[in-house]
Chains A and B, each alone.
Chain A
Amino acid sequence: MALPKYTEPHYRIWHYFYIFICSCVFFFLIAPLFVIFPLSFNAEEFLVFSEGMKRLDPEAFSLRWYHDMVYGTKNPWGLAAKNSFIIAIFATLGSVLLGTVAALGLSSRHMPYKGIIMATLISPMIVPLIISGVAIFFFMAKVGLAATHTGIVLAHIVLGTPFVVITVTATLSGFDHSVTRAASSLGSDPVNTFMKITLPLILPGVISGGLFAFVTSFDEVVVVLFLAGLDNTTIPIQMWTGLREQLSPTILAVATCLIVLSTLILVTAELLRRRSERIRGINR
C-alpha cells in the first residue's frame, strides 16, 4: 500500500493513522493467543510472568505442566481427550453424511420450499446454545440417552450439520452440472456418477464442512454441560471446570495443545479452500 508521490501531507498522515489502527486491531485479535504459550512453560505455579521469565533465565522455564497434563495424579485429561476425540469423530461422520446428502437435494433447482427448509436446517447454528442445550437435554432425558456418548454424539450432529450444509451448498453453487449429464449419457448409473464424478469435485467442500463440524463438536461445552455424566467428561468440560474453580498452569498446557491443533486445522482448511477454487475454476 505505497502512497503515490503526489499525496498531500494530511492524507499521508491519515493513511499512516489508518495503518496504525489496523495494526492495533490485528494485534488485539491475535495477541491474546500468544500469551498462553510462554506462560504454559512457567516453572512456577502463578499465572504471571515471573522475574526469571522476564530475564529469559532458562531456570524459569520448565515442562512440568505438560508432564502434569499427561502423568498427573488423578488426571482427568486422558479420559477427557479420549472422549472428546471419540465424540467428535462420530459427530463429524454423522454431520457430513446427513449434511452432504441434504446439500445435494437443496442445491437442486427443483427443490420445493427451499427457503423455509434451508432456514430450518441452519437454525441450530443461530439459536443460542443454551436454548439448544435445554431442549436437547429434555429430549435425551426422555428417551434415556442423557449421560451417554450416543446422546452427546446425536446432539453434536444437530449442531454440526449446518456447517456442512453451508459449505457443501456453497461448493455446489459453482458446480457444472453438464459433467454429471455427460456421465449419465455415457451410461453411468446415478450412484456411480456421484461416487466417480460429483464427490471428487465437491470433496474439498465436504472436508472443510467436516472440519467445521469436528471443531464445533470438539469445542462444544454448553450442551455437554447439560448432557454429560462423570464418564462422558470432555476436554472443554474439564477446561470449563478448571477455569471456574482454579486457573492452573496445566490448563494453559492443554490450551497450548489446542492452539496447535487449531492451527493445523486452519492450514488444512485454507489449503482445501484454495484447491476447491482451483478445481472449480474460480480465479480471484
Chain B
Amino acid sequence: MSSETQTILTTDGIPLEESLKKAEKKNKIKAFLLVCPLLLFLIITYVFPIGDMLFRSVDDRMVTNMLPKTFKAMEQWDGKELPPEEVFEGFYLDYKKLVEEKTFGKLATQLNYEKNGFKSILKKLKRKMKKFEEGNYKEQIMSVHKRWADVEYWRALKRRAPAYSYSKYLKGVDMYENEDGKIVQVPEDRRIHKILWLRTVEVAFFVTVFCFLMAYPIAHLLATLPMKYSNLLMICVLLPFWTSLLVRTASWMILLQQQGIVNDFFVWIGLVADDNRPEMMYNKVGTYVAMTQILLPFMVLPLYSVMKTISPSLMRAGKSLGGTPFVAFWKVYFPLTIPGIGAGCLLVFILAIGYYITPALVGGASGTLISNHIAFHMKSTLDWSFASAMGLMLLSGVLAIYWVYNKLVGVDNIKLG
C-alpha cells in the first residue's frame, strides 16, 4: 500500500489530518484566549508583585548608593584593624552630603538594623561634624564617640557594601555572617525567629490533628444519615463557614475571657475555683481553640464528599464475611476515606500556617505566629525587606505543600460547600 491511497481528503481537497490539526489548533487558541484576561490580570497584579517582593528582599542598594566614597575606599581594607584614613575621609564626605540632603535618618535606621548603637553615634557625629577641620578625619571622628574607634562598627558598615545581599534570609533563621565571612547562629538567647517558625509549624500541625479528630465522626454521620437530617446538620457546618472570620473570633473572645461563659462553666462544675479562673485567651490555648473551630469546615467538606461516594454495602459485606464492625471499619471503610483525609489535612495545614487575624486577636504574646511577625515588621519597624524575606520563606513552604496537594488531590477538586 502506498501512502497516497491512505490519505483521506476533505471536500476542499486538504488532507483530513491536516484539516483536523488546524481545527484543533484553532480550538486551543480559542480556549487560551478565554483564559488570557484573568491570567494577564493576575500576572500583573499578583505574580509580578510577588516577584517584586523577592527583589526587595535582597535589594540593598540604598546604603550602597548613600556611601559611595566610603565603600570605594573600603575595598582595600581587610577588616582586621581600624580602617585607614581614606575610609574615614570618604565616610565624612558621604555623610556630610547626606546631612545636607537631610536623608541621613534613613542611613541611621538601616545601619541600626545591622548593629545596635549606630543611630546614636551617627546623631552625635552629625552635631560635632560642623566644627570639623580639614584633614585627619580619622582622629576627629574617633574623638566624637568611643564606638567610632571600635572596629566592630566599621566591619558592620562594610557588610552593607554589596548592592544585593541575602542577609535578611539569614536573619530570618537566626543566623548571620560573622567577621570572617562564615555563616553562624546568633547567640542562644536571641534566637527569636527559630521559636516563631517552630511555633507556627506546631500550631498548624496540632490544629490539623484536632480538626481531623473532630471532623471525621461528624463527616461520617453526615454521609450516612438520611438526606432529610443530614441537610439540616450540614447547616451547622456551613453557617460558620459563611460567617465573617472576625465575628467568629469575636465570639471566642467573649467565650474565653476570664469572666466568660467557658470559665463560668468550669467554676460551676467545680473544675476551678471562682477566684482562680485560668487565663484562656491571649495565649496558645486561645489560638488553638479558635483556629480549630474556624478551620473545621475545611476538613469536614472534603471528608464528607469522599465518604458520600462510599457505598454502605461495602461495610455490610465486610461484616457478613465475619469482620466485627470495628474490623470492617478499619479494613474497609477507613482506607477508602484516605483521599479525603489527605485533601482535608493538607488544606487545613496550608490555611493554618499562614493564619494572621485569629492569632493576632486571641494569641497574645505566646500565641503569635510567623504572619504576625511579618505584619509587625511591615507596620512597626518598617524593615520591609526583612518582612519580604520572611514572607517568601513562608511562601516557599506553602507552595511546597500546595504542589503536593495539587499532585494528590488536584486543585480543580477543591470542594466549596
The answer to the question of A105 belonging to the interface, with a C-beta cut-off of 8 Å to chain B, is yes
Check B251–A126 contact: CB distance below 8 A.
no
Given the known interface contacts A157-B41, A269-B417, the answer about A118 and B412 at a Cβ–Cβ threshold of 8 Å is: yes
The answer to the question of A30 belonging to the interface, with a C-beta cut-off of 8 Å to chain B, is yes
Could you say which residues of chain A place their CB within 8 Å of the CB of B378?
Answer: 134, 137, 226
The answer to the question of B247 belonging to the interface, with a C-beta cut-off of 8 Å to chain A, is yes
A36 partner, pick from B32, B52, B254, beta carbons under 8 A: B254
Question: How far is A200 from B62 in the complex, measured between Cα atoms in Å?
Answer: 56
Question: How far is A105 from B31 in the complex, measured between Cα atoms in Å?
Answer: 4
Nearest-neighbour CB distance to chain B for A240, whole angstroms, equals 6
Question: How far is A218 from B246 in the complex, measured between Cα atoms in Å?
Answer: 11
Check B246–A110 contact: CB distance below 8 A.
no
The answer to the question of A210 belonging to the interface, with a C-beta cut-off of 8 Å to chain B, is no
Check B244–A236 contact: CB distance below 8 A.
yes
| Binary interface encoding of chain A residues 77-121 relative to chain B, with 1 for a CB under 8 A from any of its CBs, else 0 | 000000000000000000000110110111010111001011111
Given the known interface contacts A129-B356, A247-B250, the answer about A30 and B240 at a Cβ–Cβ threshold of 8 Å is: yes
A243 partner, pick from B27, B253, B371, B402, beta carbons under 8 A: B253
The answer to the question of B217 belonging to the interface, with a C-beta cut-off of 8 Å to chain A, is yes
Please report which residues of chain A, range 14-36, place their CB below 8 angstroms from some CB of chain B when the two chains form the complex.
18-19, 21-22, 25-26, 28-30, 32-33, 35-36
The answer to the question of B327 belonging to the interface, with a C-beta cut-off of 8 Å to chain A, is no
Given the known interface contacts A25-B214, A35-B255, the answer about A101 and B244 at a Cβ–Cβ threshold of 8 Å is: no
Could you say which residues of chain B place their CB within 8 Å of the CB of A244?
Answer: 360-361
| Binary interface encoding of chain B residues 221-249 relative to chain A, with 1 for a CB under 8 A from any of its CBs, else 0 | 10011010000010111111011111111
The stretch that binds B, out of A66-74, A178-186, A251-259, is: A251-259
Could you say which residues of chain A place their CB within 8 Å of the CB of B371?
Answer: 128-130
| Binary interface encoding of chain B residues 315-357 relative to chain A, with 1 for a CB under 8 A from any of its CBs, else 0 | 0000000000100000000000000000000000010011111
Check A273–B417 contact: CB distance below 8 A.
yes
A99 partner, pick from B38, B45, B214, B252, beta carbons under 8 A: B38
The answer to the question of A56 belonging to the interface, with a C-beta cut-off of 8 Å to chain B, is no
Check B34–A104 contact: CB distance below 8 A.
yes
Check A262–B293 contact: CB distance below 8 A.
no
The answer to the question of B257 belonging to the interface, with a C-beta cut-off of 8 Å to chain A, is yes
The answer to the question of A227 belonging to the interface, with a C-beta cut-off of 8 Å to chain B, is no
Please report which residues of chain A, range 161-220, place their CB below 8 angstroms from some CB of chain B when the two chains form the complex.
161, 163, 165-167, 169-170, 208, 212, 215, 218-219
Question: How far is A22 from B233 in the complex, measured between Cα atoms in Å?
Answer: 11
Given the known interface contacts A111-B31, A122-B414, the answer about A36 and B53 at a Cβ–Cβ threshold of 8 Å is: no
Check A36–B251 contact: CB distance below 8 A.
yes
Question: How far is A138 from B392 in the complex, measured between Cα atoms in Å?
Answer: 14
Check B46–A102 contact: CB distance below 8 A.
no
Secondary structure call for the B interface: helix
Interface size on B, residues (CB 8 A): 90
Question: How far is A98 from B351 in the complex, measured between Cα atoms in Å?
Answer: 25
Given the known interface contacts A98-B37, A115-B406, A130-B371, the answer about A247 and B411 at a Cβ–Cβ threshold of 8 Å is: no
The answer to the question of A279 belonging to the interface, with a C-beta cut-off of 8 Å to chain B, is no
Secondary structure call for the A interface: helix
Check A158–B46 contact: CB distance below 8 A.
yes
Question: How far is A167 from B413 in the complex, measured between Cα atoms in Å?
Answer: 10
Question: How far is A170 from B297 in the complex, measured between Cα atoms in Å?
Answer: 19
Could you say which residues of chain B place their CB within 8 Å of the CB of A154?
Answer: 45
Nearest-neighbour CB distance to chain B for A135, whole angstroms, equals 4
Given the known interface contacts A32-B248, A36-B251, A101-B38, the answer about A167 and B214 at a Cβ–Cβ threshold of 8 Å is: no
Nearest-neighbour CB distance to chain B for A269, whole angstroms, equals 6
Check A212–B354 contact: CB distance below 8 A.
no
Please report which residues of chain B, range 373-396, place their CB below 8 angstroms from some CB of chain A when the two chains form the complex.
374-375, 378, 384, 387-388, 391-392, 394-395
Question: How far is A252 from B406 in the complex, measured between Cα atoms in Å?
Answer: 40
Given the known interface contacts A35-B255, A120-B39, the answer about A127 and B354 at a Cβ–Cβ threshold of 8 Å is: yes
Check B235–A266 contact: CB distance below 8 A.
yes
The answer to the question of A11 belonging to the interface, with a C-beta cut-off of 8 Å to chain B, is yes
Beyond A255-B244, A262-B243, A263-B239, list 11 extra A-B contacts (CB 8 Å).
Answer: A29-B237, A36-B251, A101-B35, A105-B30, A105-B32, A106-B35, A117-B39, A131-B50, A138-B384, A236-B244, A270-B238
Can you list the 9 inter-chain pairs with the closest CB atoms, starting with the nearest? A128-B354, A105-B34, A139-B49, A105-B35, A110-B27, A108-B31, A102-B38, A135-B49, A32-B251
A-B contact pairs, 18 of them (CB 8 A): A1-B221, A25-B215, A25-B218, A49-B261, A102-B39, A105-B31, A105-B34, A120-B47, A127-B395, A132-B46, A137-B378, A138-B56, A166-B414, A239-B247, A255-B244, A266-B238, A269-B238, A269-B417
Binding site for B on A (CB under 8 A): 1, 11, 18-19, 21-22, 25-26, 28-30, 32-33, 35-36, 39, 47-49, 98-99, 101-102, 104-106, 108, 110-112, 115, 117-132, 134-139, 142, 154-155, 157-158, 161, 163, 165-167, 169-170, 208, 212, 215, 218-219, 221-222, 225-226, 236, 239-240, 243-244, 247, 251-252, 255, 258-259, 262-263, 265-266, 269-270, 273, 284
